[in-house]
Structure 1
Amino acid sequence: MKQSIYLIVFSLFFLASCKKENAAKDSSKSQEKPSTKAENVSMLDQKFNVVNLKGEAVARAIWLYLPPNYDSSEERYPVIYMHDGQNLFDAKTSYAGEWGVDEILNDLYTKTKKGFIVVGINNVGAERMNEYSPWKHDKYGGGSGDRYVKMIVEELKPYIDKNYRTKPEAEFTGIIGSSMGGLISYYAGLAYPDVFGRLGVVSPSFWFSKEILDFTKNNPALSNTKMYLLLGDKEGMTKEFNEVSKLLVDSGFPKDHMQQKLIPGGEHNEAFWNSQFLNVIRFLYDIEL
């Protein structure tokens, strides 16, 4: 029953994601909402491709958040890679609200002087489902997830490390996403633990494929990996969330490197993820306020 409820919720979320892409293309609609991104958020001139299951190269735009002191210092910074870039920084490009990543991190910098670089990767509409899972689903697609992650590992991350002052080591490199973005973040962290050492697995779609269970058993993360697993109790995915979390620990993931949070009242939307983003960052990067 819970799975059926979640499939309905997920279907609505998927349709909303497709509408986001259409809204972004419709300039007249996007102009109805003012831009809310901070001054230290920009778009890269270069786009990055993922070859889809048809053999077509599909390009996507990349957002870049730099810490407030980037231009006035020679400091190097941790880098966080995030999915669904349209929804991270700007209400103008989002469909149902934004995470407010820029405002949250700017405020964190003011209070702690801890700065981050955030790379927001736009989804590309219909390919989103395919790219955010390495495993296929009979109804919803999937299967291009490793191609997508390889693009980040082999092309995007080297570009960012070359052109910006980063701390490139895994202990400083995070990957964070929600829903299907949570699923692909989990996959990326376990499949490439020498690249991604800080994992924000938010409202993950663990129900998408049973193959995640064998994958978890066969891919224990490195001992220095940290993971924040987060779910709202109104999202309808508690069974799979608890099952994977337990299996992760049983497979050897260090308990003190993992937070598993089931939040009362939490729903499957950007408002919930906005409310929890700071907690994710504080745990992954050991920040006290």
Structure 2
Amino acid sequence: MILRHFRLFLNLLFLLPFSLWGQLLIEVNNLPSTTPPGSEVYIAGSFNNWSPDNNSYILAETSPGNYSIELDIAAGTYEFKFTRGSWQTVEGTSSGGFRPNRQITYNGGQQTATLIIEGWEGLSNGGGTAAPNVEILSNNFYMPQLNRNRRIWAYLPPDYYTSNRDYPVLYMHDAQNLFDQSTSFGEEWEVDESLNELFSQGDPGIIVIGIENGGGERINELTPWANPTYGGGDGAAYVDFIVQTLKPYVDANYRTKSDQPNTGIMGSSLGGLISLYACIRHQDVFGKAGVLSPSLWFTNDIYDFVNTTGKQATLKIALVAGEQESSTMVAQLQAMYDTLVNAGFSSEELMITTHADGEHSEWYWRREFPGTYQWLFQIVSVLQGSLELNGISYWPNPGTDYLFIDGLPDADSWQMAIYNTAGQHVREASFSNAQIDVSALTSGNYFIVIWNNNGEWSVINFHKNR
């Protein structure tokens, strides 16, 4: 009897360690915006003698923007940190400062921990400038059409994770210059700051997908045809990547309005050239294009392409340039406007704007981005995203001083914003006694957008008399 109990004790003793071993899955949802492209992410801790560059402890990118590693360890409490391969590249706070060791208690068996890397120590020079609602979709998104990998950024509206709404999408180039000063070559566009400010004023919001340029491949990727001096000509494959690979991924993983009227593309310089080309080539995909300071000098083929392709769908194309950019910029921009008209596009679909002080520079594109975006997207976004409200009425229309609205439940809890017919924001305010003061508006047509916190929208087409 004693021998049998002793054997049972030995069996339990041998089984006990195995029951306390298993797999701990560590997941990281995305990396800081300051992560250098192509970086490997390691985990180092008390379970591997704090080795910062052990190739057996590299996190794998399981899907764009998502990383993980499985640790075969015994149950217990461990300390660890993430690195990029050395203690000089260890993780830190969001402002680039020191952060203490992480600690996790593993209970054995299958266990998952989902974590966020806030920043890298010493990398951000006091902190990047990207807003909290900017994230890295992927550091190494594969481009099968070009057999390359590229870092992709995503700007999400401030209410994205607290609403169930769908949003239009704007694809942009040169992403390292769009959101964060610490990754920009010179100045940044401040796309995130501009859109967040517009959102606070009543803008419904938009998703921006930024594609970093490929450094030495930038000229190749952003030009549809080769230049005898500068080369290039991979633009068709680059656009195919956006249309065939990137857009389907974005539409599958984010809440998007994926149809043509709610999909746009925008860029400057060579990015302006490729945006115009993409919109004309894929009129079934892109409903609008922001063409800022386009490098139309690169090839005359773009004019022939617009002419021969012609108008196949309703588009909105904004042509914007500065008069200080080059001696030919304004003339070439006007020539493109005339080419688009000859190809069948109406003046309502086109906007051409030049500025006496405009230069070929990020500060100029930063300044002109909000107005260009509003003209391209605002009215279409609001009208298509609006929810018709039954039982409301408003008068007088036309009117002069006040517009009165009947039928809104809890009227004073609603907000409103006024836009002109170019899609530019004019003003916003709250209701007072279910009336809107329009006395300061000049005569003309306006869109008055009203909304509440439940996601309900309505749009009033209003004419202001003198």
> Shorter chain as normaliser: what TM range?
0.7 to 0.9
Question: What are the Cα deviations for residues 244-281 of structure 1, in whole angstroms up to 9, with x where unaligned?
Answer: 11111122111111110011110001100010001111
1:176 aligns with 2:266: yes
1:30 CA displacement: 6.0
Q: Match of 1:155, SS?
A: helix
Which of 353, 366, 375 is 1:274 aligned to? 366
The residue that corresponds to 2:355 in the other structure is: 263
> What letter is aligned with 1:42?
E
When the two chains are superposed, the root-mean-square deviation of aligned CA atoms in Å is: 2.0
Q: Is the Cα contact below 8 Å between 1:223 and 1:253 reproduced in 2?
A: no
The residue that corresponds to 1:38 in the other structure is: 131
Q: Match of 1:194, SS?
A: coil
Q: Is the Cα contact below 8 Å between 2:145 and 2:240 reproduced in 1?
A: no
Where in structure 2 are the equivalents of 1:1-289 lying within 5 Å? 31-32=124-125, 34-45=127-138, 47-49=141-143, 51-52=145-146, 57-236=147-326, 237-287=329-379, 288=419, 289=425
> What letter is aligned with 2:141?
K
The residue that corresponds to 1:17 in the other structure is: none
> Structure 2: any 5+ residue segments left out of the alignment?
1-35, 40-88, 90-120, 380-418, 420-424, 426-466
Q: Match of 2:369, SS?
A: helix
After TM superposition, the runs of 4+ consecutive aligned structure 1 residues lying more than 3 A away are 23-34
Pair 24,161 (structure 1): closer, same or farther in 2 beyond 3 Å: closer
> What letter is aligned with 2:195?
L
1:223 CA displacement: 4.0
For 1:240 and 1:124, locate their aligned partners in 2 and report how far apart those are by CA, in whole Å: 27
**Percent identity of the aligned residues?**
43
1:241 CA displacement: 1.4
1:220 CA displacement: 2.0
> What letter is aligned with 2:344?
G
1:50 CA displacement: 5.2
Query: Normalising to structure 1: TM-score of the pair?
Result: 0.86
For 1:171 and 1:278, locate their aligned partners in 2 and report how far apart those are by CA, in whole Å: 19
Q: Match of 2:359, SS?
A: coil
Report the more deviating stretch, 218-227 or 250-259: 218-227
Q: Match of 2:181, SS?
A: coil
Rg (Cα) greater in structure:
2
> What letter is aligned with 1:90?
D
> What letter is aligned with 1:82?
M
For 1:216 and 1:29, locate their aligned partners in 2 and report how far apart those are by CA, in whole Å: 48
Greater helix proportion: 1
Report the more deviating stretch, 240-249 or 26-35: 26-35
> What letter is aligned with 1:34?
G
For 1:179 and 1:188, locate their aligned partners in 2 and report how far apart those are by CA, in whole Å: 14
For 2:195 and 2:315, locate their aligned partners in 1 and report how far apart those are by CA, in whole Å: 22
1:31 CA displacement: 3.8
1:48 CA displacement: 2.8
Pair 267,29 (structure 1): closer, same or farther in 2 beyond 3 Å: farther
Question: What are the Cα deviations for residues 5-57 of structure 1, in whole angstroms up to 9, with x where unaligned?
Answer: xxxxxxxxxxxxxxxxxx979989964473000000010135131554xxxx2
For 2:123 and 2:325, locate their aligned partners in 1 and report how far apart those are by CA, in whole Å: 29
1:91 CA displacement: 0.1
For 1:24 and 1:268, locate their aligned partners in 2 and report how far apart those are by CA, in whole Å: 26
Question: What are the Cα deviations for residues 164-216 of structure 1, in whole angstroms up to 9, with x where unaligned?
Answer: 10000010001000000000000000000010001100000011001112101
Pair 34,141 (structure 1): closer, same or farther in 2 beyond 3 Å: farther
Q: Is the Cα contact below 8 Å between 1:169 and 1:195 reproduced in 2?
A: yes
For 2:126 and 2:333, locate their aligned partners in 1 and report how far apart those are by CA, in whole Å: 35
For 1:121 and 1:33, locate their aligned partners in 2 and report how far apart those are by CA, in whole Å: 25
Question: What are the Cα deviations for residues 106-163 of structure 1, in whole angstroms up to 9, with x where unaligned?
Answer: 1111101411000000001111000001100012121100000000000000000000
Q: Is the Cα contact below 8 Å between 1:40 and 1:66 reproduced in 2?
A: yes
Q: Match of 1:44, SS?
A: strand
Larger relative CO (CA 8 A, sep 6+): 1 or 2?
1
1:83 CA displacement: 0.2
> What letter is aligned with 1:67?
P
Pair 185,240 (structure 1): closer, same or farther in 2 beyond 3 Å: same
Pair 230,76 (structure 1): closer, same or farther in 2 beyond 3 Å: same
Report the more deviating stretch, 31-40 or 209-218: 31-40
Q: Is the Cα contact below 8 Å between 2:264 and 2:288 reproduced in 1?
A: yes
Q: Match of 1:285, SS?
A: helix
> What letter is aligned with 2:183?
T
For 2:122 and 2:368, locate their aligned partners in 1 and report how far apart those are by CA, in whole Å: 29
For 1:202 and 1:210, locate their aligned partners in 2 and report how far apart those are by CA, in whole Å: 18
Report the more deviating stretch, 169-178 or 211-220: 211-220
The residue that corresponds to 2:439 in the other structure is: none
Count of matched residue positions in the alignment of Structure 1 and Structure 2? 263
1:242 CA displacement: 1.4
